[in-house]
Amino acid sequence: MKTSQKILNLLKTQGALTAKVLAEELSLTTMGVRQHLLSLEESDDVTTFDKSAGRGRPTRYWKLTDKSVERFEDRHEDLSLQLIDSIKVVFGDSGLDKLIDEREARSFEVYQQAMSLAVGIEQKLNILADIRSQEGYMASIEQDNDVWSLYENHCPICAAATKCQSFCRSELQLFQQLFEACATVSREEHIVEGARRCAYKFYAK
């Protein structure tokens, strides 16, 4: 395990610590630990605060930031897959379909409200791409005459979508429903099928 991760683990399990204590725990020099801490501070994984212990200069402590959660193991994909299997066992395929339909309906309400004042395909797509990026899809748009492309370079629900492709069917239907008055929507590239990204075409009506 890298020293930087060992430092993060200690701060995670013991709370805020000084560089001196970290050095003792890791059998390193204080200077060496500080170099790692400064690197972690630059990546916004740790931050500092000073605490007075009476006379003399305050002591500097290091603690984790909210961003540091990304540096620890995340089993949410395993949980998602287990939940999908459990829903199928308890409620059957129809129960899972109802769950996906409910998710689609909620997303439609959120997206439609955000795009309510938008005029034309381009404005609507810019808003949609912004929302999708906030959700982790790394979305962008391009225009070629009367055809617009929505690219999603990452799929934050890839594990669930691979397990149950109804999630992907639902997203295509969602886009078609949102743009039914002004565009025909098709999916041209699909991460689940091995493509580098998901790509959707919006053909102006």
Final residue belonging to a domain, choices 20, 49, 71: 71
Final residue belonging to a domain, choices 49, 71, 93: 71
pLDDT of residue 68: 87
Query: Of all helices (H) and strands (E), which one includes residue 128?
Result: helix 120-134
Write the DSSP assignment of 98-126 as a string of letters.
HHHHHHHHHHHHHHHHHTTT--HHHHHHH
9 shares its domain with 27: yes
Report whether pLDDT(54) > 90.
no
Q: What CATH code is carried by the domain that includes residue 115?
A: 3.30.1380
- The upper half-sphere exposure of residue 144, i.e. CA atoms within 13 Å in the direction of its Cβ, equals 6
Number of independent structural domains in the chain: 2
59 shares its domain with 116: no
Report whether pLDDT(118) > 80.
yes
Q: What CATH code is carried by the domain that includes residue 63?
A: 1.10.10.10
Final residue belonging to a domain, choices 40, 71, 102: 71
Q: Looking at residues 167-187, what average pLDDT do you find?
A: 90
Q: Which residue has the higher pLDDT, 164 or 69?
A: 69
Q: pTM of this prediction?
A: 0.60
